[in-house]
Chain A
Amino acid sequence: MTPPALLIPIVLPILGAAIAATAGRAGHGIARASASLGVWGAAVAVVAIWLPVRSTQEISLGQLGFGSPFDLRLDMIGLVFSLAVLIPAATLLALQPRTWQENTVAGLGVAAAMAAIEAGGVLMTAVAGCTAATLVVIQLDVEDLRAPRPSWALLLAAWLALAWAGVVLQVVGGTAVYAAVPVSAMTVPVFALLAFASIFGGGLVPWRGWTSAIWSRTSLRAAGLAVATLQPLALYLFVRAYELGDGHYPQSWLNVVLAAWGVLVAFGAAARAQAATTRREYMAEVLPGLAGFALMALAVGSALGLIAALILTASTAIIVIGIALLPDRGGAPSLLVTAAAAGVPPGLVFGGRILGLGAAIEAGGAMGLVGLAGVATWLVAAAAAARSVGLPAGRGRSAVETLPRVAMMIGAAMLALGPALALAYLAASAAAADVMNVPALAQATGLGTIVTESTVVPVVSLLGPLLVVGAIALALSKRTGLTPRTGEPPPLFPLYAAQAAARIVNALRRAAVPSEYRSLFNPRALENVAAGGTPLLWLASIVALAIAVTR
């Protein structure tokens, strides 16, 4: 493969979107096929480009004009995140019906996300990421204008923050290209900007952020794609931050703060999930919870943590498909997807969380305490998942956009994939080596076991038999208790903080200038004065300017 091939994974979804836009008017089927084929093509292309070489490939296509070179790069980290974006997007585009406009915008959004991942520098990632975010917002609005969606301003702020981080790197270090930034340029302010971009761009917040809110939409076609596109991008930035800092964040306390934030995100999601009144509300909290755990693992700062984060990110990418295709009603599909997402053993999420939390505790100190909180949070999430089985369905979704059997297969596959954790670990450790020094211990892992600092996790030999025994036992068991129960189960604990926050927000929204003072501030009068061509204002302004500059 020649380096220009790196353009293919970006171009193919654009091509698919273009065909969807031009030929899609003839029938939504053509649009659906072209958009999904474009994205599938990109996924295949990414693998085909990387496999023959199995090392980083780069291409530089000159300057773009705003201080950023048009550099593309595909390394193992890029490959992992590309697939984390492309596979769920391609699957959802293929399986769910959409209008040609939705297909077009979705295809373009995926292309932008690919460009963000393949970008060789921070600035290009910012431009491409902002494009992806913009297209996600448009896609959500096209689907349903009045339904909840992420705040455009917040997303723009996030990507602008990343752009600012890029320009700071340029000013301080002379370049914002990932591979060339001097370690000294990766300062705490730069990291803070990057973290802001990541947290708000990906909705990684402990309160009910957009990743939860969009799940209250009537249709979840765009919501699934939105999370599948933007959430991995957010985590990707934190991974690249390691590369910028030569395997470290600028200060070790940043790791602790970020990991604690990750646990808070997961706890927030779990707390809301356990108080959900419908199954839809519960499902809304699954992905933020998964992202929170991935963030926590990522922030540990060790190779094991990063590997766990990559495994969790990949798992989340698959679970997104299941959730997006799941009907609101209960039953085996719902139970399996919920169990897989909650990290029930021997699933892949279980393995990822074991590694991530283990990495935190093995790191010791404050990080150990964060790990402890992480385990507790996991159990809260498990309790919420258990409670969700008895919840009523919610508002219900159009049957056309749900595929319970596919969702059930995904859930079952995610549970059965636990024994493949070692394989995932191998791939993730190869990817982690792109951004940090992976100790020989971690690299020397065989196909069956994972060696951590203090233990060895016998993945295949332990989880394999467990899976087999479990499958046989479950096949023989009597299925009772899976039917929806009457009455909504009470929350495990009330959300006092959320209620207080909601009260404050409502009070702020209702806040208005008291009527007796309204005459003091009359925007229309102010506009009339400013825009009325008032010579007195002009003269006063000149005097003010003269005084200001001659003082």
Chain B
Amino acid sequence: MTAVAAFVAWIGGAVILVADGRRGLALGLGLVTAAIAGLAFAAGQHAAAIAVLAGGAAAAALRLRSGPPGWGLTQPGSTPRIILAIVIGILALYFATSLSTGDGSPLRFAWLVVIALSAARLLDCEEPATALTAAATLALGIGAVASLPPAAAGLAAAIVAGLVAAGISALPEVRPHGA
């Protein structure tokens, strides 16, 4: 179950990295939300799972409001991003399973891929909607790190993460006004 959730998290993050359209971005965000909520459920943090789910779902839904239309999943020039997503996945797998010890490898993998993929997306985007989606994903990822074992912040961190993620998606798009 947790392994599947972790895989879904990677898929979600990869979609965010690859997608350029609002639907694709919302899908990625949704997948990441589901994965993190699932992992929280699996860890017994039900309230945290709900908070993340609520915040993430709201963020995904709000994402559908703005941004470039469509899915934008296979835009020209997306191949390097696909490769990057795979590389990040492999590296995260190495760190989560080989280098680190103890239980909870899927959890660690999920943390790493969500944060790394959203960071990668932040570095390679010009669209406000894409950047905001990546930022919301990042919030969920950090919230997951805080709310799941062995961290102690628990529910509070999850609520803050959910609120931040939803709030980010709710913000209007901004265009530069010139110097």
Contacts and interface: CB of A to CB of B under 8 A. Distances in A.
Touching in the complex, A and B, CB below 8 A?
A: yes
Interface of A: 535, 538-539
B123 interface: yes
B118 to A, nearest CB: 14
Nearest to A534: B123
A538 B124 CA distance: 13
Contacts of A538: 123
Contacts of A539: 123
A538 B123 CA distance: 10
Contacts of B124: 535
4 contacts: A535-B123, A535-B124, A538-B123, A539-B123
A541 to B, nearest CB: 13
A542 to B, nearest CB: 10
A437 to B, nearest CB: 66
A535 B124 CA distance: 8
B122 to A, nearest CB: 9
A539 B123 CA distance: 10
B66 to A, nearest CB: 24
A146 B30 CA distance: 67
A539 B120 CA distance: 10
Interface of B: 123-124
A297 to B, nearest CB: 65
| Top 4 closest pairs, chain A to chain B, by CB | A535-B123, A535-B124, A538-B123, A539-B123
B169 to A, nearest CB: 24
A534 to B, nearest CB: 10
Nearest to B122: A535
Nearest to A536: B123
A535 B123 CA distance: 6
Nearest to A539: B123
Contacts of B123: 535, 538-539
A205 to B, nearest CB: 50
A539 B124 CA distance: 13
A499 B124 CA distance: 60
Nearest to A533: B123
Nearest to A535: B123
B126 to A, nearest CB: 13
B48 to A, nearest CB: 30
A539 B87 CA distance: 15
B128 to A, nearest CB: 16
B138 to A, nearest CB: 15
B54 to A, nearest CB: 33
A160 B111 CA distance: 48
A395 B124 CA distance: 66
B154 to A, nearest CB: 30
B106 to A, nearest CB: 24
B127 to A, nearest CB: 16
A463 B32 CA distance: 100
A305 B128 CA distance: 78
Nearest to B123: A535
A545 to B, nearest CB: 16
B176 to A, nearest CB: 15
A538 B119 CA distance: 12
Nearest to B124: A535
A388 B124 CA distance: 75
A285 to B, nearest CB: 56
A539 B119 CA distance: 11
A214 to B, nearest CB: 45
A538 B120 CA distance: 12
A428 B80 CA distance: 83
A432 B124 CA distance: 73
A535 B84 CA distance: 14
A160 B124 CA distance: 46
B91 to A, nearest CB: 12
B64 to A, nearest CB: 28
B155 to A, nearest CB: 32
Contacts of A535: 123-124
B115 to A, nearest CB: 13
A550 to B, nearest CB: 11
B80 to A, nearest CB: 13
B170 to A, nearest CB: 26
B21 to A, nearest CB: 23
A494 B33 CA distance: 86
Nearest to A538: B123
A343 B124 CA distance: 78
A121 B124 CA distance: 57
A421 B101 CA distance: 85
B67 to A, nearest CB: 22
A159 B24 CA distance: 63
